[in-house]
Structure 1
Amino acid sequence: MQTLYLGCLALGIIFAVVSVLVGDLIGGALHGVFDFVSFDFLNPAILAGGVTVFGGAGVLLSRYSGLEDGAILALSLLIAAFMGVVLHLVVVKPMKNSEMSNGFSMNDLPGRIGEVMVPVPAAGYGEIMVKFGAGNSLHTAASFEQHPLPAGIKVVVVEVREGVALVSEFEDRRGVDS
């Protein structure tokens, strides 16, 4: 049994080292291969952690306890399962929930407020910056009303045609009495 525990411990340590060194290459090569398995507990990090903890617990219990082989096996499995649950709840689940995308669609632009970065001539193209979430994106822009728009002013995107944002000067009417 000691060989099984040492093998699991060594396998887990080797997996961790290989994951750190070439994990992105392996992940890119195997991208999507295991997507049909949608159980969170089958996450490779959890499985490798469980195997490593199983081996480590087995080695420690064999050397430092007076328990029988069957009891050591059962206790090692319980410890590995417990640590797998802890790893899932403390590391994997919070990391999955923290994933954020800064992607957007050009269809999201109409109605957004932006700032002119490169002046927009009456009949030509300039550039605007629009804030999306925590980031900014730059877009080619043209004047919706064919009026020149200087750099630094606020504009609103009226529509998008052929990948170009058609903008108009933004007038803030919140502080104006009617």
Structure 2
Amino acid sequence: METLFLSCLIGGILFAIVSVLLGDWLSASLDGALDFLSVEGYSLFRPTVIACWVTVFGGAGLLLNKYTEMGNIIVLILTFLIATAFAVLLYFAYIRPMEQSENSVGFSIQELAGQIGEVIVPIPDNGFGEVMVQMGAARSHHIASSFDGTAIPSEAKVIVVEVDAAEGVLFVSKFDI
């Protein structure tokens, strides 16, 4: 029994070390030869979660086997439950949030309406200037015109009132807090 637990613990630790240190290199050198091992569908069965389960199964099994007087069947059941709890915790506390945290800098110009920006090139009464607007993690510069026909100086805060997507022009008004 101890051999099973020790093998799982060592195997899980080696998997973690190899995947962290050599994961990208192995993937590139094998050119996708191991892609069949990836599990499609449920991401709860990702290799990271499985490796976590195996490692915790080995470690918890060794500890329960050495420091308790429980029988082998009870130790196996408890170890299975502990490893499953840790794997599920890893999935919901780390892996799932990381999957959903994808940042994209893509946006539609129509989404700029209502956003606050800063004037980079002064906007004259009846002309065009330039504003910088931040959308998510991206900052973009756009041609802008005054919505109410008043000049707006450089470094002034503005709010995008209207968007002319066909011309690519933002109509802005000075934003006073």
- Cα separation, partners in 2 of 1:67 and 1:132, compared to 1, 3 Å: same
Letter of the structure 1 residue corresponding to residue 65 of structure 2: S
CA distance in 1, matches of 2:60, 2:22: 27
Per-residue CA deviation, residues 6-58 of structure 1 (Å, 9 max, x unaligned), is 2211111122223433556678987x974732x24313332211110111122
What is the aligned counterpart of 2:40 among 36, 40, 53? 36
Write the mapping of 1:37-116 to structure 2, written as runs, cut at 5 A: 37=41, 39-96=42-99, 99=101, 101-103=103-105, 104-116=107-119
User: Does the 8 A contact of 2:131 with 2:144 survive in 1?
Assistant: no
Cα distance, 1:158 vs. partner? 2.5
TM-score normalized by the length of structure 1: 0.65
Is 1:129 matched with 2:147? no
TM-score normalized by the length of structure 2: 0.65
CA distance in 1, matches of 2:126, 2:26: 51
Cα distance, 1:113 vs. partner? 4.0
Partner of residue 158, structure 1:
163
Identity of aligned residues (%): 37
- Cα separation, partners in 2 of 1:170 and 1:83, compared to 1, 3 Å: same
User: Does the 8 A contact of 1:112 with 1:130 survive in 2?
Assistant: yes
Q: How many residues align?
A: 168
Structure 2: runs of 5+ lacking an equivalent: none
Aligned partner of residue 151 in structure 1, secondary structure: coil
CA distance in 2, matches of 1:144, 1:77: 66
Per-residue CA deviation, residues 46-92 of structure 1 (Å, 9 max, x unaligned), is 22111101111222233334444434333321221222233334444
CA RMSD of aligned residues (A): 4.1
User: Does the 8 A contact of 1:8 with 1:51 survive in 2?
Assistant: yes
CA distance in 1, matches of 2:90, 2:51: 11
